[in-house]
């Protein structure tokens, strides 16, 4: 029997998957007419109990026959998705429907990687805000960060974008035709302000969802004050980029670069910060 159903949920003892519609038994046995036995539960490694996973098979009532675990999400990605569902930003059912659509359009999975334009804020000749004590500036920090993100994202095709001029930047991004855009920046104010925020275009619901995912990932890693996600119009600072990119776009202001403590926190585990970004991008790719 052709396996066509794709489910998302939390793996539980006994071969069950806890989904939004209830517990589903996973079994390797294919359903056969006239047989009442549900078959032997799918064997699950003990270390995978409690993790979020995608399971594929043929669903009948509360049993997924011919079941296979097609992917087990990392704790970070699974946690992000669970939190988004708890907040009502996106539902597990919406994610399942999106993945099922991708499966039907591309069953071998060759074209499922979403494209992210990763913009490095500012440029070498105009490097943006700077930390007076260390001399670290926005462009230099974010270029190094972008290189690390690019190497860590596994479900997202990441393309670094460099600014020629601010006016030309939306057009340059649009030529790449990404599914979404993330622009890397750092805040600066009075050397005391601290925290993380992500900006999105005020009319873009997808932009807001992307901003929420990034904000949560960055706050959880950096443990700096949560300044929230902030809607911007085309008249606001940064709004030109947010408005004129064709795909949803957000601006990540991870920390205040002129605040010595903020900068030190970002630098002390740069690989971890890149990993937080990469996990967020991969989560975005799953639900877009």
Confidence of residue 287 (pLDDT cuts 50, 70, 90): confident
Q: Please report the pLDDT score of residue 84 as a whole number.
A: 79
Residue 66, classed as helix, strand or coil, is strand
Q: SS3 sequence, the chain?
A: CCCCEEEEEEEECCCEEEECCEEEEEECCCCCCCCCCCCCECCCCHHHCCCEEEEEEEEECCEEEEEEEEEECCHHHHHHHHHHHHHCCCCHHHHHHHHHHHHHHCCCCCCCCEEEEEEECCECCECCCECCCCCCEHHHHHHHHHHHHHHHCCCEEEEEEECCCCCCHHHHHHHHCCCEEEEEEEECCCCCCCCEEEEEECCCHHHHHHHHHHHHHHHHHHCCCEEEEEEECCCCCCHHHHHHCCCCEEEEEEEECCCHHHHHHHHHCHHHHHHHHHHHHHHHHHHC
Q: Please report the pLDDT score of residue 1 as a whole number.
A: 41
Give the model confidence (pLDDT) of 55-108 as tens digits: 989 998 899 998 999 888 888 788 888 887 887 777 777 777 777 766 565 555
CA 268 to CA 149: how far, in whole Å?
Answer: 16
More confident residue, 2 or 92: 92
pTM comes to: 0.82
Give the model confidence (pLDDT) of 92-150 as tens digits: 777 777 777 665 655 554 456 899 999 999 999 999 999 999 999 999 999 999 999 99
Domains and CATH numbers, the chain: 5-105 (2.40.50), 114-287 (3.40.630.40)
More confident residue, 288 or 213: 213
Burial of 92 (C-beta count, 10 Å sphere; 0-12/13-18/19+): buried
Whether the CB-CB separation of 142 and 186 falls below 8 Å is answered with yes
Confidence of residue 15 (pLDDT cuts 50, 70, 90): very high
Lowest-pLDDT range, 83-97, 181-195, 240-254? 83-97
Round the average pLDDT of the chain to a whole number and report it. 89
């Amino acid at each position: 029997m052709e396996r066509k159903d794709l489910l998302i949920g939390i793996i539980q003892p006994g071969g069950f998957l806890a989904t939004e519609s209830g517990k589903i038994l996973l079994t390797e046995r294919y359903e056969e007419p006239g047989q009442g036995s549900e078959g032997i539960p799918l064997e699950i490694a003990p270390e995978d109990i409690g993790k979020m996973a995608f399971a594929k098979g043929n669903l009948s009532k509360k049993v997924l026959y011919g079941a296979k675990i097609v992917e087990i999400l990392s704790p970070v990605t699974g946690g992000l998705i669970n939190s988004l569902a708890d907040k009502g930003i996106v539902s597990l059912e919406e994610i399942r429907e999106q993945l099922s659509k991708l499966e039907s359009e591309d069953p071998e999975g060759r074209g499922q990687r979403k494209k992210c334009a990763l913009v490095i804020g500012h440029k070498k000749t105009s490097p943006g805000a700077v930390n007076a004590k260390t001399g670290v500036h926005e462009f230099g920090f974010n270029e190094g960060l972008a290189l690390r993100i690019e190497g860590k994202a596994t479900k997202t095709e990441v393309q670094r974008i460099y600014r020629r001029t601010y006016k030309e930047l939306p057009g340059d991004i649009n030529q790449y035709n990404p599914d979404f855009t993330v622009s890397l920046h750092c805040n600066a104010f009075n050397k005391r302000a601290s925290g993380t925020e992500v900006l999105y275009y005020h009319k873009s619901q997808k932009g807001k969802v992307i901003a929420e995912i990034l904000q949560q990932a960055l706050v959880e890693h950096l443990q700096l004050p949560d300044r929230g996600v902030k809607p911007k119009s085309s008249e606001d600072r940064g709004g030109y980029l947010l408005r004129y990119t064709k795909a949803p776009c957000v601006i990540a202001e991870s920390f205040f670069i002129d605040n010595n403590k903020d900068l030190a926190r970002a630098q002390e585990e740069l690989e971890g910060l890149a990993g937080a970004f990469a996990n967020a991008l991969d989560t975005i790719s799953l639900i877009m």
